[in-house]
Structures are given as structure tokens and as C-alpha cells.
């Protein structure tokens, strides 16, 4: 390999591009240093001949790419050679895992179970910084999943190279046959050219990339039993306002526990957590929660819930893992055998903010059949003791769901649910039962996408372990888009239409939305999306007609700066929620005028320094230019300095002008690999309403170690 001379032009796609490669076992394992000079690469299988996608579909990639694949008993190895005629334009930053998404990147999408729907994704930038996650049937990436693997990269005069070693014990694959054939898709992003290329070629007329993946054939793997144990310890001092609200009372705290994972022959995984490490080093970014009719959604970040999380996903999300807020312990089992997937979660959750302790039990079973089709069962159970009656109460939901693909371009989705609930009321305990239904028909050929959606959630349907953004509704929706590829200054243009009607179960219109928008991808890495929306909303028995215009702009042309702006302006309801259930309460709701702005900037003056600035503004007035009802800004600054690839220092400052609060946090972290890390942190909350006073202070240290082994 070290003496091989590669002509970049020889890697240009030819008319007939092979869609499969046969891999051979390496006689010696390569050293993961990014140099591609090991003998293991000389007899490795290779893929090249990359083809553009997203824009300039089917045209040869403008830069040559070659990927080498080999394996041994423990790992599958990938070597990557990316040619680039303009080396100074290569984007290659030092940062934490998953924080280099705007860099030059090569992604390896691996469908180890041959579902043609989803897969593991392992990415690397020219510095060897890792990006990993899972991709689903709709090509949505979930970056919250992390794997332990080795990578290295380097930039040279011809472009850049990288090497990866991915342990088999971190993957989930069928164990019936020792010989494995996997789906594999390789993609390369060159942000300076806004170019996305793939092996094998993707067709614009086929919906979804994983079902078009190539084949990695000939792996001979001896399935093993692997395990990992991640003990942790955390402690520090915490200061909270005393009862009079005049000063901080400080107390020390210490916590310790362990997360244990056991994988039986790769495809059956048991997670056991004792006092699990469900803490988050970095808190959720603020969202404006003022004058909101519906609950805000926050993504899951806690490791215990991320293994096999996709198994529990359903069209109506009756399991939302953040409902389990403060568990003392948890048990989870996930697995896949041939076409069957299954999952079990059981957890005891300590009540927070005066709420009762609760047991959560989640069961899931899914069977894949035909091409891109599946049928599944889900059951959720929350059991707790009433605070007033002392009786044991519950909420249970059972359901059946299916995804059925037919005639190439059509997919039908359906989910039927039934809930049983015993809950406390002013008169004692009340029992309710009700069904729910979701149905969707989608047609997509790559350019034209049409969807029709129906959802029915009756008033008594309850899913306390799930997330129902708009309960007690019957809704219809129509969505359509068409992608134009003019290959001019406008690289692509995609107009959208959205029609949505939501009724209550008395057939009274609660909300309608009629929106027209278009997304333009322009030369120079500009994206523009104007939108107009007209709607009707019913609130407390009154109907309000609303108009709104918005504009979105994003630019990522520079390796040193990226920016985004979203502006909204239009009519908005002020929701009077005081004594809402009292018919005699005077309704002070009105239709006002809202301005909203979101601005984000990402500045990278050097490769190991990242500065993120954001501002979110919302202003409500009784009319356009009229009396102000409220005005709120959320301001955030985040500075991350990567001292060395595994050691970083981070400072975050937040301001909320509505609450007149400031928060500061500083974090020093050394992350050797996922699960093995040391953190030292400091947080301070300040109120400046009528004076500057500290309202909370935390100083903490956290140590965790991920120990892995095989049986």
C-alpha cells in the first residue's frame, strides 16, 4: 500500500459501478494512525467511483475517494483516501465527538441486520474526530448513540486520509450464520463545494438511502458474549436559596452507581442500572415557554435509554423516556432475531417536585416482513400510589402498528391504541378507557412527495408514559412537495404545501393551518426558505383568524463562520389560562401581533476553538405596533476550546430577560472514550430583578469508567 500510486482521475465513476465487494480477513491488523501505510491495506477490498447525490444527481464526484475494508477476529477496519485539489479549503476542526458536522466528512452507513431501513453510522473528519449515530428509514440521523471505536486522520498534499477500527462487540448482527453479508453505504461531504457523493450511486427516484445500500460480503465472524460495566461517582457542593429567599444554604452531595450491559451473541442486549447515571453534564438549551398552549419537547440524552431506542418508536409516541425523570434503578432488554425485534424497559422512578414515586414498564415487539414493511405491538404501564386516596393508580396503553410499503412508491402507516386509566379526582378515583388511531398514506418517488395523515385522540385517551403534544383532537393533514433541479444559480428548489385541520370530538374546528413555502438551495452555500401561513384557532370557545409570514436564511460558505436567521411576523393568540376550568371566569384572551426572531452564529477562528452565539426573541403586542404585552430575549454564548483532542474547556452564559436571570457554567472535561471521562464543573444562577443576587450555585466533579470485555 505504501508504494501504490493512485491517480485521482482513475477513481471517477464509470458507467457500471459494482454494488458489492468481497472482503478478506487481514493477516495482520493495521495500526490506526491515519497513514494508510500498513500491509493490511494492500489486500483489502476497495470501493471508489463515487457519484454525486442531493444536487447534480448521477454525475461523477469532482474529487476522487477510495475506501479500503478488511477485518480480523475483533474489528472491521476502514481506510479512507480523500483527494482534494484545494487542500487549504479542507474543513478539519478539533472538537468533541459529533460537533464537526460542518467539516469535510466520510460516513460509513452499515446495515448489519440487512433491514434495508436503518443502520449504524460511523463518520470521521480529517483530524480523526468521530461522528456516530443511527440512521432510520426516513434518512433521519440520531447522533445521541455513541460507540467505542478507534479513528485517526491526517491532511497531506493530496487531500486527507483516515483509518477506523470498529469492534464487532459494539455492533448488533444476526448470529444464525457465522458468515455475514452486510449492507454498506459510504458518503463523502465536501462543504467547500456543497458536494455530497456516495458509493454505490443513489437514485433520486427511490425514497430512502439505506434500501439502496451496497453489499459488504464475506465477513466470517465468531459471535461472542460481550459486556461492559460503567461505574461512576459524582459529588460536590450545591447552594440553594433558603426559605426566606435571602441567602444560599450550601450542602455537600455524593452519588455513585453503575450501568451494566451484556450482549448475548451480539443481538440480545441486557442493560441493568443501579442508581443509574442519568445526570447531564450540559443542561438543555432554554426554550421560550411563555404563552404556550402545548407542552415543549426535549430530546433524550441519557445513555441508558439510547441502546435500541429506535425499537420503541411508534407513530403516536406513547413512550417518551424523559417521563422517567429520577429513577433509582432500571432494567432494559433489547434484541433482534432474524426479522423480529423486541424491547423491555422496567424502572422505578422517584417522584420529583412533590409527585409520587412510580413504576414504569414498557414492552415492544416488532416483525419485519416483505420489503420495507413491519408490524408491531407496544404496551406501556405506569403504576403509582395516589397522594390523596392512597390507592394504587395506573395508566396502561396497548397498541398495534404497521408500516406497509407497496408498488415501489407507496407506504401505508397505521397505529391503533387503547388506554386504561385510574386517576384521582376531586370525588375520589375515576376509571376511563378510550381508543386512539393514526393512519398515513405516503407517496414518494424522490422528486414528488405526497402524504395524507389522519389522527384521532379522544378526550379520555391518556398516555402518561408518552408525549401527546395535542391531546383530545381529531386531525386531518395533507402535505406535498416537489423538488426541481435547475442546475443554475439555484441548485435546487423545493416548494411545499401543508393543509391541516384539527377538530375536537364535538366536530368543532380547533385549529386549521394552510401553509405555502419553498426551500431554495443556492450557489455559494446559501439556503433561503420563505413561508406564508393562514390558519384558524379555537380557544375558549372563540375562533381567531391568524396570518403569519416567515423567512429562513442559512449560510455555511466559510470554514470560519456559519450563520442562520429565522424571522416570523403575524397574528398570535394571547392565551388566558387563569381559572380556565371555571365557566364563570372572564376570558381575557385576545388576538395580538407577534414578532419572533432566532439568530445563530458559529465562529471558528482556529481549528480548536468554537464560539457559538444565539439569540431568540419574542415580542407580543395587542396589535401591529400597538401596546406591548411582553418582550423576551434568550441570549446564549458558548465557547469550547479543545486543548488536546480528548481534553476540552467549555464556558456557557445564558440570559433570560423575561425572568431577569443569568446563568454561567464552566466545564473542564477529559473524555477518553464514551463512558470513560472526568469532569470538573461550576454553575452559577443569578437574578438581577431589583438587585444582583445568586439564586443557585453548584461545584461538582464526576468520574466514570467504561470497562469492556468478552466471554
CA distance 439 to 416: 9
For the chain, domains (ranges, CATH) are 8-220 (2.60.40.1190), 298-468 (no CATH)
The 8-class DSSP code of residue 304 comes to: H
CB 609 within 8 A of CB 96: no
Output the pLDDT for position 285: 57
298 vs 367, which has greater pLDDT? 367
Helix (H) or strand (E) holding 143: none
| In the block, residue with C-alpha cell 466533579 | 701
Count of Cβ atoms closer than 10 Å to residue 30 Cβ: 25
- Which residues pair with residue 704 across a beta bridge? 232, 677
Query: Binning pLDDT at 50, 70 and 90, where does residue 695 land?
Result: confident
Q: What is the pLDDT of residue 257?
A: 87
Whether the per-residue pLDDT at 11 is higher than 50: the answer is no
pLDDT tens digits, 651-669: 999 999 998 999 999 999 9
Average pLDDT, whole number, for the chain?
Answer: 89
pLDDT in tens, 368-395: 887 788 999 999 999 999 888 788 899 9
**H or E, element range at 124:** strand 119-124
pLDDT recorded at residue 582: 66
Q: How high is the pLDDT of residue 616? A: 97
Q: To the nearest 10°, report the CA torsion of 111, 64, 58, 525.
A: 90
Predicted confidence (pLDDT) per residue in 267-290, tens digit? 788 888 887 765 555 555 566 667
The listed range with the strongest mean pLDDT (285-289, 321-325, 606-610) is: 606-610
Where is pLDDT greater, at 329 or 532?
532
Grid coordinates representing 11 are 477513481
- Strands 542-555, 526-539: parallel, antiparallel or unpaired by DSSP? antiparallel
**pLDDT for the residue 176:** 58
Three-class SS state of 40: helix
Which band of pLDDT confidence, cut at 50, 70 and 90, is reported for residue 4? very low
With helix as H, strand as E and coil as C, how does 373-428 read?
EEEEEEEEEEEEECCCCCCEEEEEEEEEEEEEEECCCEEEEEEEEEEEEEEEECCE
Contact between 527 and 552 under an 8 Å Cβ cutoff? The reply is yes
Residue 2 has pLDDT above 50, yes or no: no
Most confident of 273-287, 340-354, 462-476, 623-637: 623-637
**Per the structure block, which three cell numbers stand in for 504?**
375536537
> Which one, of 633, 631, 628, 651, lies nearest residue 641 by Cα?
651
Portion of the chain with pLDDT greater than 70, in percent: 92
- Calpha distance 512→35 (Å, rounded): 58
Q: How many CB atoms lie within 10 A of CB 52?
A: 21
Mean pLDDT of 77-97: 95
3 pLDDT band, cuts 50/70/90, is very low
With 0-12 CB in 10 A as exposed, 13-18 as middle and 19+ as buried, what is 516? middle
Contact 196, 107 (CB under 8 A): no
The answer to whether residue 436 scores a pLDDT higher than 60 is yes
Entry pTM: 0.84
- Confidence (pLDDT) at 330: 87
Predicted confidence (pLDDT) per residue in 538-592, tens digit: 998 899 999 999 999 999 989 999 999 999 999 999 998 876 666 667 888 999 9
Q: What is the pLDDT of residue 117?
A: 84
When comparing pLDDT for 14 and 305, which is higher? 305
pLDDT 10s digits, 486-500: 878 999 999 999 999
By the 8 A CB rule, do 218 and 71 touch? no
In 473-572, where does DSSP find H-type helix?
none
Amino acid at each position: 500500500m505504501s508504494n501504490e500510486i493512485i491517480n485521482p482521475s482513475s477513481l471517477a465513476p464509470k458507467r457500471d459501478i459494482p454494488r458489492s465487494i468481497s472482503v478478506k480477513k487481514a493477516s495482520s491488523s493495521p495500526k490506526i494512525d491515519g497513514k494508510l501505510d500498513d500491509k493490511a491495506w494492500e489486500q483489502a477490498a476497495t470501493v471508489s467511483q463515487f457519484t454525486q447525490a442531493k444536487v447534480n444527481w448521477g454525475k461523477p464526484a469532482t474529487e476522487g475517494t477510495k475506501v479500503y475494508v478488511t477485518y480480523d477476529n475483533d474489528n472491521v477496519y476502514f481506510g479512507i483516501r480523500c483527494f482534494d485539489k484545494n487542500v487549504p479549503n479542507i474543513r478539519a476542526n478539533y472538537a468533541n465527538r459529533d460537533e464537526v458536522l460542518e467539516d469535510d466528512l466520510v460516513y460509513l452507513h452499515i446495515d448489519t441486520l440487512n433491514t434495508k431501513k436503518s443502520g449504524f453510522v460511523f463518520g470521521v473528519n480529517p483530524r480523526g474526530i468521530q461522528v456516530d449515530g443511527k440512521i432510520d428509514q426516513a434518512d433521519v440521523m440520531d447522533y445521541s448513540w455513541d460507540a467505542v471505536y478507534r479513528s485517526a486522520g491526517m491532511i497531506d498534499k493530496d487531500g486527507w486520509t483516515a483509518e477506523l477500527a470498529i469492534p464487532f462487540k459494539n455492533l448488533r448482527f444476526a448470529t444464525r450464520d457465522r458468515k455475514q453479508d452486510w449492507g454498506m453505504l459510504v458518503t463523502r461531504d465536501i462543504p467547500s463545494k456543497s458536494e455530497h457523493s456516495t458509493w454505490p450511486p443513489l437514485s433520486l427516484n427511490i425514497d430512502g438511502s439505506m434500501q439502496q445500500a451496497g453489499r459488504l460480503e464475506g465477513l466470517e465472524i465468531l459471535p461472542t458474549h460481550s459486556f461492559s460495566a460503567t461505574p461512576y461517582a459524582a459529588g460536590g457542593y450545591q447552594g440553594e436559596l433558603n426559605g426566606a429567599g435571602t441567602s444560599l444554604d450550601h450542602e455537600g452531595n455524593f452519588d455513585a452507581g453503575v450501568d451494566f450491559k451484556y450482549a448475548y451473541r451480539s443481538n440480545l442486549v441486557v442493560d441493568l442500572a443501579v442508581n443509574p447515571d442519568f445526570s447531564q453534564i450540559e443542561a438543555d438549551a432554554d426554550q421560550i415557554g411563555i404563552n404556550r398552549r402545548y407542552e415543549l419537547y426535549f430530546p433524550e440524552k441519557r445513555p441508558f435509554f439510547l441502546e435500541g431506542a429506535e425499537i420503541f418508536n411508534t407513530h403516536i409516541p406513547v413512550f417518551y423516556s424523559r417521563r422517567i425523570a429520577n429513577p433509582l434503578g432500571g432494567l432494559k432488554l433489547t434484541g433482534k432475531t432474524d426479522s423480529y425485534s423486541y424491547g423491555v424497559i422496567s424502572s422505578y422512578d422517584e417522584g420529583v417536585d412533590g409527585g409520587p414515586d412510580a413504576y414504569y414498564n414498557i414492552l415492544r415487539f416488532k416483525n419485519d416482513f416483505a420489503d420495507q414493511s413491519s408490524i408491531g405491538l407496544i404496551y406501556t404501564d405506569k403504576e403509582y400510589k395516589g397522594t390523596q386516596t392512597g390507592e394504587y393508580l395506573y395508566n396502561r396503553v396497548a397498541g398495534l402498528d404497521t408500516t406497509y410499503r407497496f408498488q415501489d412508491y407507496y407506504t401505508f402507516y397505521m397505529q391503533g391504541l387503547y388506554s386504561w386509566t385510574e386517576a384521582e379526582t376531586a370525588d375520589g378515583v375515576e376509571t376511563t378507557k378510550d381508543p386512539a388511531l393514526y393512519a398515513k398514506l405516503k407517496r414518494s418517488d424522490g422528486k414528488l412527495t405526497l402524504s395524507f395523515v389522519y389522527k384521532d385522540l379522544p378526550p379520555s385517551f391518556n398516555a402518561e408514559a408518552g408525549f401527546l403534544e395535542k391531546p383530545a383532537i381529531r386531525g386531518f393533514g395533507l402535505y406535498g412537495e416537489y423538488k426541481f433541479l435547475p442546475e443554475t444559480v439555484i441548485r435546487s428548489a423545493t416548494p411545499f404545501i401543508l393543509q391541516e385541520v384539527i377538530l375536537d370530538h364535538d366536530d368543532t374546528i380547533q385549529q386549521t393551518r394552510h401553509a405555502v413555502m419553498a426551500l431554495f438551495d443556492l450557489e455559494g452555500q446559501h439556503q433561503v426558505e420563505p413561508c406564508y401561513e393562514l390558519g384558524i384557532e379555537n380557544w375558549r370557545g372563540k375562533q381567531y383568524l391568524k396570518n403569519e409570514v416567515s423567512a429562513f436564511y442559512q449560510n455555511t460558505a466559510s470554514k470560519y463562520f456559519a450563520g442562520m436567521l429565522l424571522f416570523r411576523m403575524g397574528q398570535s393568540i394571547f392565551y388566558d389560562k387563569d381559572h380556565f376550568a371555571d365557566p364563570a371566569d372572564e376570558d381575557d384572551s385576545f388576538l395580538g401581533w407577534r414578532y419572533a426572531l432566532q439568530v445563530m452564529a458559529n465562529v471558528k477562528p482556529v481549528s480548536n476553538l468554537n464560539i457559538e452565539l444565539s439569540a431568540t426573541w419574542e415580542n407580543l403586542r395587542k396589535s401591529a405596533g400597538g401596546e406591548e404585552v411582553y418582550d423576551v430575549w434568550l441570549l446564549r454564548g458558548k465557547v469550547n476550546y479543545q486543548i488536546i483532542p480528548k481534553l476540552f474547556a467549555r464556558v456557557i452564559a445564558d440570559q433570560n430577560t423575561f425572568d431577569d436571570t443569568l446563568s454561567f457554567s464552566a466545564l473542564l472535561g477529559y473524555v477518553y472514550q464514551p463512558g470513560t471521562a472526568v469532569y470538573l464543573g461550576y454553575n452559577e444562577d443569578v437574578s438581577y430583578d431589583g438587585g444582583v443576587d445568586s439564586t443557585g450555585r453548584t461545584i461538582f466533579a464526576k468520574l466514570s469508567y467504561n470497562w469492556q470485555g468478552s466471554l
